[in-house]
Amino acid sequence: MKIVNIVFLIAAFSLFTSGIIAQDIIVTTAGKTMHCNITKIADDTLFFKVKLNDRMSNTFIVTSQLKEYSIGKVEELRASLDTSSFFTIKLEDGTGLTGKVRSIFESKVLFEDNNFGVITIKGETIESFAKEDKNTFYFITLIDGNEIHGKIIERKKYELDIQTETLGKVTIPLKNIKKMTEVQQGRVKDGEYWFPNPNSTRYLFSPTAIPLKKGEGYYQNAYVLANSANYGISDNFTIGGGVFLPVAAFITPKIGFKVAEKVHVGAGAILGLFPGPTTVGILFGVATYGSTEHNFTLGAGYGFVADEFIQYPMITLSGMTRVSRRIALVTENWIVPLPQEEYVNGNYVETTEYYTVVSYGLRIMKERITFDIALINSKDIIQMIPIGIPYIDFVYKF
């Protein structure tokens, strides 16, 4: 099916353009240098990924054929090493570590973590790291539910000294800390921490051009019967899908790129599968201006049934703006082409009329959860229900 092929081409292109960036170097005894991603180091074998014929391939080399190698993240850490400073290190399995680097070997890091003590980290497992900035603000949630934000004055073995704006210097026992999150100073407003918008990639139904980050995902439920999930394969490629119980299923690949400070562009598809089977869906492009807190998006897409495209595009114009720590305003509006037949001079003539559907509502937010409460309206709906048809959805970010 042509449409299905187009959808999978979008996914394939997305995976190609967001492929693994080689950061490690291997030099063989024969003098060959390879830029690669080292994935595992065993006693007599080194495993790695390397780009061959425009594809990332898994392979290995025995140590007898290996002259030398270097792991990019280890070399970056070595270059910025300061044994008196604290570092945060994120491993590829999602583990987060905070502490001091004691020493660095060829492919391993000796690290003193605040919770685990002195541990050895394999260099190939490091995804990212950051040196603690004395000017960095932290949002701290205590076990008793209280929240504190401020700068770290001093880290001690069993406690932290925090400089807060309202309470001055506060000493917190480490055992009382439930969660500690680095935040931008601008996110502290009137003494409250404004957590990042947990649902910045979607309005009600339609997406923004802002992509999920690699490893991020969300589950959405609308009207109980509509269930979907999306996941960031990379920082630029998202794949998702879901079901409309009990009659349909769909998949939703999307690519998105930041092209300027406040501009994102993206493209994707919605491919629906109905009993029959019959395929319907949309191939679309979107452009978003603004931040994750305040933005609007212009989108256009061509709908299709089986392998036949609708002649004219549908258009979306949507926006959201955060008005408080937990509340945002959301609107999503569709201009949809509908084929018509008119009787002119004794003949039926096919024409197209654009039909407009608007929505407006509130988004209630927590750190990982949002609830949308909105109304959907059109020139026909308003005659029956002046305020519009109620719409409710729930999103959980993971």
pLDDT in tens, 161-170: 888 877 888 9
Residue 46 belongs to a domain: yes
Residue 174 pLDDT exceeds 90 = no
pTM: 0.67
Cα separation, 260 vs 275, whole angstroms: 43
Distances (CA, A) of 92 to 45, 98, 120, 219: 21, 15, 15, 23
Same domain, 236 and 355: yes
pLDDT digits (tens, 9 = 90+) for 74-90: 999 888 777 778 888 98
Same domain, 232 and 268: yes
Same domain, 39 and 81: no
Same domain, 58 and 143: no
Same domain, 314 and 393: yes
Cα separation, 174 vs 224, whole angstroms: 42
The arithmetic mean of pLDDT across residues 220-237, rounded, is: 93
Site of tokens 């002195």: 118
pLDDT digits (tens, 9 = 90+) for 24-71: 999 999 999 999 999 999 989 999 999 887 788 899 999 999 999 999
Same domain, 167 and 49: no
The residue segments making up the domain with residue 87 are 72-131
**Beta bridge pairs of residue 45:** 62
Binned at pLDDT 50, 70 and 90, residue 306 comes out as confident
Residue 284 pLDDT exceeds 80 = yes
**Beta bridge pairs of residue 96:** 90
Domain total of the chain: 4
Residue 119 pLDDT exceeds 80 = yes
Residue 390 pLDDT exceeds 90 = yes
Residue 1 belongs to a domain: no
